[in-house]
Structure 1
Amino acid sequence: MKEYLPYLIGALIGMLAALLISGVLALQGTPQIMLFALLPVFGGAVVERAFQRRSGKS
């Protein structure tokens, strides 16, 4: 379970970014759905990759 922690942290950061961007730009409909679908996944992948590089597990 511990190995999923970096991904979960990144997904949370992505979700917060999606909320912020959606609120600032007042997005609705399809753009908002795409934002909430893509940013958590992208954030999770980026943070997980960064943790892997930092720990030397390529």
Structure 2
Amino acid sequence: VMRILTVIATIMLPITVVASVYGMNIPLPLQESKFSFLYVFLIMLVIIGGILYFFRRQRWV
């Protein structure tokens, strides 16, 4: 149970950081583009994929 909760928390942490940075009311890169939501969403998916790849390679998941 603890391993599963740790994996879930580890996957959610970088996504939360990216979402909170882009939720700030200051000018950010890619903010003016009409595809900015798509770019940030793809960045989050790449982060999730990288973390899952690492965990599967280490046989933690």
TM-score (norm: length of structure 1):
0.52
1:9 match: 13
What do you get for the CA RMSD once the two structures are aligned? Answer: 3.0
How many residues are paired up? 52
1:34 to 15, 31, 38: 38
- The one-letter amino acid paired with 1:48 is L
Check 1:47–1:10 CA distance in 2 against 1; reply closer, same or farther (3 A cut): farther
List runs of 5+ in structure 1 lacking aligned partners: none
What CA distance in whole angstroms lies between the structure 2 residues aligned with 1:39 and 1:51? 19
- 2:46 maps to amino acid: F
1:23-51 Cα distance to aligned partner (Å, 9 max, x none): 24x53242211112211122011112112
**Over alpha carbons, which structure has the higher Rg?**
2
Identity over aligned residues, as a percent?
Answer: 6
The alignment's TM-score, normalised by the length of structure 2, stands at 0.50
Between structures 1 and 2, the one with greater helix share: 1
One-letter amino acid of the counterpart of residue 15, structure 2 = A
Q: Matched residue of 1:23: which SS?
A: coil
